[in-house]
Chains A and B, each alone.
Chain A
Amino acid sequence: MRDSLRYAVKEVWRRKKRTAGAILSYFFVGAIVVVVSSLAGVTRDTAQSVLWNVGAHSVAYSPRLTIYGCCIQTFATDKYDPDREGFVVNNAPTNIISEEEIELIRQSPYVLDASPYLMFRIRSFLGSGEWLIGGIDLTGHDVYPYTVVAKSQVVEGEFIEHGEDNRIMVEDDFAGTYGLEVGSELQIGDFAYEIAAIVNPPLRPGKANIYMSLEGLRELIETRLDEIAELPINAVLIESLGARYHDQAHADIASILGSSSRITSYGCYQPSMMAMGINDRTAWIITGIVILCMLLVAMKIQYSSVIQRRFDIGVLKAIGWRDENVVIQVMTEASIYGITGGIAGVAGAFILIHLLPGDLFGDGGRSVDNYVVFAGLLLPVAGGLLAGILSAFRAARLQTADILRKA
């Protein structure tokens, strides 16, 4: 046994090119497994965190059939246009939601946070049409950036802050339509607002044309309606526990706001999750094919090395080597190739991962999971041993007499 090991080491050392070829192939197998898994893991994590947030944030409201309504007195003033103005979300007239209801929603186990939002439709003061205004509670809630507009979506100017009730932000398209610029003024009803920012949020459940503070919008609404519920709110911005709890959160909210209530989020998160899965699978299939090819190359090198040595093996068997000697030697060589290649590959992958720019890796950083390291080692070793077994059997089956006759 020890002798066979010695002969294997000698053989590995003597045939440097072959050894380099086999080890290099296993090196690539190990390295590809680790690098691709950690990059794929990171992209998957990032993608999922995006989707997670997408699914986790939504807007709840309680639609009603008509703008004229129960809870608010809708006496038309001379300024107010009852057919066009009112509390509207997603083009639907809405009921008023109370602070207590928001508090109850907050207490649902599937809801992380809930914050008030006010959406009011008002007639246009520049030509015909209507404008949709969003009143944001700017007092430090984490939900509006995901459901309404985020600081990162400012195209020009500054995001408004709490207390700036006479400053507004307008959507890019809206600004374009009416030729509005940062710093210019916009008259809405009785008030003149300074445009603090032009923003461009993507499709969002709480999307409006104009954004201002909750307090500022309430002040404006007071001048439009004769009688109004104190501190009106008609939407709740919700952060649920995660995309998966969307349905449970909805059920809880429905039991609080009534069965006709709606909860909106991006409808695309489910199909995009599926698409992401397909992409993921494609990447893995390609990786798998590459790995398989490298494995085959390495195994071919090992196998043909045995065929090349058939003369040596025949002579050694003739002078008294046992089959087991040959098998152990070939298997030892195979293990050396697989283990060395695997370890070098994993080590190389770690180095590569640390050389790659850090922003390729998400919050998890450059850490590599243990099971990935394990797979990076296992595959080359398993490949080496499999090739070893195949070629060892081939070597053992070689007929000494045949070999000697052809020598």
Chain B
Amino acid sequence: MENKPILKCTNLTKSFRIRKSIIEILKGVDLEVYPGELIVIKGRSGEGKSVLQWLLSGIDAPDSGEILIDGIPYNKLSSEEIANVRRQKIGLVFQNFNLIPSWTALENVESALLNSNLSAVEKREKAITILENMDLGHRLDNLPLELSVGQQQRVALARALINRPSLIIADEPTGNVDDETGNEMLNILLSYVRENNSAMVVTTHGHFTGIDLADKLYLLKDGLLVPQTKGQPEVTAAG
């Protein structure tokens, strides 16, 4: 892979002060992610998978180390610029979907278009189109709780993908759903990734059906990313 990494981080550290003691969660994490790559990070609960994902998506800042997104370091960007990067380049998939409960499916998806240059009508049409592609054309005006878990998951994916991100960051995306729903999500994400030559960083605490498809597999343990060997993948995510 000769092209430039979409994401590159070097020597990330992050610790938290809990009462009087300081707990180091990340102790020097290095990671490179290239377009088209599927990266899977395994780790037991509490190892810092979510913390790492928030650093990668610019939601939180590391204590030391550097993160380059498309070659640009987060710490050189204002919080507004980081927000723009997140909207334009990163699709976030959360474990609990994190849909806004009082907003309809359509409103939830549309909210990801807030700062884009589209007109209100265009935004609405774009959101409707992607929901229709997810087989939710008839549930646009439902609130999340009025939808099945699988449908909520597809609304969340529509919201994550509507800005055509070049990097998907998914934090234990299948952690809370049954296998069938988990596989459905995986299929949607993988086909998106393949069609768009996007990269995807997925964390899991073990049970993730996509592990076999990973281009790179890591174990997050004691604050470090340890590369894992695995059998040659049958299919690569790269196109």
Contacts and interface: CB of A to CB of B under 8 A. Distances in A.
A320 B96 contact: no
Contact of A320 (B50, B84, B99): B84
B60 A319 contact: no
Interface string B50-66: 11001001011000000
Contacts of B159: 319
A2 B83 CA distance: 18
B80 interface: yes
B114 A320 contact: yes
A6 B54 CA distance: 29
A404 B115 contact: no
A327 to B, nearest CB: 11
Interface stretch (A187-195, A210-218, A310-318): A310-318
Interface string A22-53: 00000000000000000000000000000000
A404 B94 contact: yes
B191 interface: no
Contact of B98 (A14, A323, A324, A407): A407
Nearest to A320: B87
Contacts of B59: 317-318, 400-401, 404
Interface centre among B59, B80, B102, B159 (most CB of A within 10 A): B59
B54 A321 contact: no
Contacts of A311: 98, 100
Contacts of B84: 320, 322
A320 B98 contact: no
B54 A322 contact: no
Contact of B100 (A312, A323, A399): A312
Contacts of B130: none
A6 B98 CA distance: 22
Contacts of A405: 50
Nearest to A325: B114
A3 interface: yes
A232 B152 CA distance: 106
B125 to A, nearest CB: 15
A10 B104 CA distance: 12
A322 to B, nearest CB: 4
A324 B80 contact: yes
A319 B112 contact: yes
Interface residues of A, number: 26
A2 B79 CA distance: 21
Contacts of B51: 401
A315 B98 CA distance: 7
A14 B120 CA distance: 19
Nearest to B51: A401
Interface string A265-307: 0000000000000000000000000000000000000000000
Interface of B is mostly: helix
B115 A321 contact: yes
B202 interface: no
Given A6-B120, A316-B100, A322-B84, A401 B60 contact: yes
B79 A319 contact: no
B10 to A, nearest CB: 21
B102 A318 contact: no
Contacts of B54: 400-401, 404
Interface string A5-25: 011001000100000000000
A245 to B, nearest CB: 67
Contact of B83 (A4, A10, A320): A320
B114 A321 contact: yes
Contact of B79 (A4, A6, A315, A323): A323
Given A3-B114, A401-B60, A319 B92 contact: yes
B115 A322 contact: yes
A324 B54 CA distance: 21
A321 B83 contact: yes
B111 interface: yes
A406 to B, nearest CB: 11
Interface in B98-150: 98-100, 102, 107, 111-112, 114-115, 120
Contacts of A400: 54, 59-60
A14 B107 CA distance: 13
Nearest to B80: A322
A323 B83 CA distance: 9
A324 B107 CA distance: 19
A346 B196 CA distance: 58
Contacts of A2: 120
Nearest to B91: A319
B198 to A, nearest CB: 16
B98 A325 contact: no
A320 B112 contact: yes
Interface in B72-102: 79-80, 83-84, 86-88, 92, 94, 96, 98-100, 102
Given A315-B99, A320-B86, A322-B84, 16 more contacts: A3-B120, A7-B114, A10-B107, A14-B102, A315-B98, A317-B83, A318-B59, A319-B92, A319-B112, A320-B112, A321-B115, A323-B79, A323-B83, A399-B60, A400-B60, A401-B54
25 contacts: A4-B114, A6-B120, A7-B114, A14-B102, A311-B98, A312-B100, A315-B99, A316-B100, A318-B59, A318-B86, A318-B92, A319-B86, A319-B111, A320-B84, A321-B83, A321-B114, A322-B80, A322-B84, A322-B115, A323-B79, A325-B115, A400-B54, A401-B54, A401-B59, A405-B50
Nearest 5 interchain pairs by C-beta? A320-B87, A401-B60, A322-B83, A320-B86, A315-B98
Interface of A: 2-4, 6-7, 10, 14, 311-312, 315-325, 399-401, 404-405, 407
Interface of B: 50-51, 54, 57, 59-60, 79-80, 83-84, 86-88, 92, 94, 96, 98-100, 102, 107, 111-112, 114-115, 120, 159-160, 163
